[in-house]
A and B are shown apart, each in its own frame.
Chain A
Amino acid sequence: MLISRRKFLGSLGAAIGATTTGTLTKAYGAANKHFKGYPGSSGVLHDTTLCIGCRKCEQACNKVNDLPQPEKPFEDLGVLDKKRRTQADEFTVVNQFGTQEKVFVKKQCNHCLEPACASACFVKAFTKTPEGPVVYDASLCVGCRYCMVACPFDIPAYEYDKALAPRVTKCTMCAPRLEEGKLPGCVKACPREALIFGKRDTLLKIAKSRIQNFPDRYIDHVYGEHEMGGTSWLYLSGKPFETIGMREDLGTTSAPELTSGPLSAVPIIVGLWPVLLTGVYAISKRKDKIAKEEKEDALKAAELQANEDMNQKLEELREKITKEKTAAINFEVKKALEEVSKEAEAAKEKEAETQDIEESEEKGKQEE
C-alpha cells in the first residue's frame, strides 16, 4: 500500500490523474488544512532520567545496520567525555552532560512528523512513512546535502570519503525490522527501558502521566511533542533541555510551513509576470509608435507648410509676373500707340505740308 502510494506520487503526470479521479484530495485532521500526521504511527519515548550511558543502544544500532566496527569498542565509556554527533557510520550516539549529576542523552534522527529533510529534498529521496519512520532512498539521491543544511537537529551525515557514490545516512527507526514485526535495535538492547517503542499517541500519554506522577523528577515538557511541528521521538528530562544539548529555540513551525510562503509566490510570479512584462513591452512599443507617428506628422506638417509657402510665393511670383507683363504690354501698347499717333501726326503734318504745297502749286497753277 505504501509503495503503491509512493509510486502514485512518483510522477507529475499521475498527479493530474489524481485530481481528475478525485483521490488524494481530502486532508486528514481539522478543517483549514491543518495536518496532524499519520494516525496510529509509531515512535520512541526516550526517558533520559533512566539512561545510564551504557552505549548498548549504539552497539545494537551498529550491528543491525551492518556498520563498520568503530576504533574504540562500545564498552569504552571514555568516549562519552567528548560531545559527539551522528556520523556516516554512527546513526546514534549517547552524550553525557553535567559533572556531578550525570545525564545521558541518546541522539539520533527524531523522525519529524513534517520532516525538514523531506521538504528540502529535490528528488523526493526522503519519505515520512505512515508507520512513523522517515526513510531515505539512496537510488534517487544526487548528493546535494540540502537535507543536512535543512535538518534543525543536525542529524543526516554524508559519506565524505566516497568519491563517486556517497550516500546520506541516518537512523531509519529500523523500518525494515518494524516491517518484520521486530523492535528497533536500540530499543531492544536498552537494559533500563530508557527507550520504549509504541504508538506516538500512547507514548505521549505515558510521558505526560509520568510528569504528572513525578513532578519533582521531570521538567514539565515533552520534547518532540511540538518541536518543529512534532517528532516521532519524544524525550523526557529532569534537567532543562537546553543544558542537555537539545535546542529549545527551534520553535513549533514545521519545515514545510517555513517554505510554503516562497513556494506559493512562485506560481503567482509565473501567472503575473507575462502580463506585466508584455504590458510594459506593449507600452514602450506604443510610445515608440506614437513618437514615430508624431515625428512623421511633424514632418508632414512641415512639408505642407513648405508647400503652402511655395504656392504663395509662386502665386506672388505669378501675380508679379502678370503685373509686370501687363505693365510691359501696356507700356508697349502705349509706346506703340504713341508711336502710331506720332506717326499719324507726322503723316498729318506731312499731308498738311503737301497740301500746302499742293495748295500753293494749285494756287500757282491758278495764278498762271
Chain B
Amino acid sequence: MNIPITRPIREIKEDTLETTIFTLQDFMTYTKGITYIIMGGILVFMPLFWKFLTDGEDD
C-alpha cells in the first residue's frame, strides 16, 4: 500500500508545543483555572465595593 507523503497545513516549529494549546481539554483546564482566580477576586472585591458604595448612609 502506498501512502503518499503529504505536507501539513502549517510547519510545526520547535517551540510550538510549549506555547500552543492543542486540545480543548487543556484549553478548558487553563482558561477555567484563570477564571476561578478571577471568581475569587470578585467574591472578595464585591463586598468591599458594597461597603464603599453605602458608606456614610445611615442604617
The verdict on A163 contacting chain B, using a C-beta distance below 8 Å, is no
Please tell me the size bucket of the interface on B: 20 to 34
> A24-B19, A206-B1, A278-B50 are contacts. A35–B27 as well, Cβ < 8 Å?
yes
Please tell me if the beta carbons of A113 and B23 are within 8 angstroms of each other in the complex: yes
Q: Chain B residues near A26 (CB, 8 Å)?
A: 19-21
Number of A-B residue pairs with CB-CB distance less than 8 Å in the complex they form = 114
Q: Chain A residues near B36 (CB, 8 Å)?
A: 12, 267
Interface of chain A, main secondary structure? helix
Interface of chain B, main secondary structure? helix
Which one, A16, A23, A27, A38, contacts B34 given CB within 8 A? A16
The distance in angstroms between the C-alpha atoms of A257 and B54, with both chains bound, is: 42
Q: Chain B residues near A263 (CB, 8 Å)?
A: 28, 32
The verdict on A209 contacting chain B, using a C-beta distance below 8 Å, is yes
- Distance in Å: Cβ of B2 to nearest Cβ of chain A: 8
- Distance in Å: Cβ of B54 to nearest Cβ of chain A: 8
Please tell me if the beta carbons of B20 and A267 are within 8 angstroms of each other in the complex: no
The verdict on A5 contacting chain B, using a C-beta distance below 8 Å, is yes
Please tell me if the beta carbons of A18 and B39 are within 8 angstroms of each other in the complex: no
- Distance in Å: Cβ of A39 to nearest Cβ of chain B: 5
Per-residue CB proximity of B21-39 to A under 8 Å, as 1/0?
1111111111011111111
Q: Chain B residues near A12 (CB, 8 Å)?
A: 33-34, 36-37
Q: Chain A residues near B25 (CB, 8 Å)?
A: 114-115, 118-119, 128, 254-256
In residues 104-156 of chain A, which contact B (Cβ within 8 Å)?
Answer: 113-115, 118-119, 124, 128, 130
> A24-B21, A206-B3, A274-B42 are contacts. A40–B12 as well, Cβ < 8 Å?
yes
The verdict on B56 contacting chain A, using a C-beta distance below 8 Å, is no
Chain B residues engaging chain A, CB cutoff 8 angstroms: 1, 3, 8, 12, 16-30, 32-39, 42-43, 46-47, 50, 54
12 A-B pairs besides A114-B23, A254-B24, A259-B28 with CB distance below 8 A are A1-B18, A16-B34, A24-B30, A25-B19, A26-B19, A26-B20, A35-B22, A35-B27, A37-B22, A38-B22, A130-B22, A202-B3
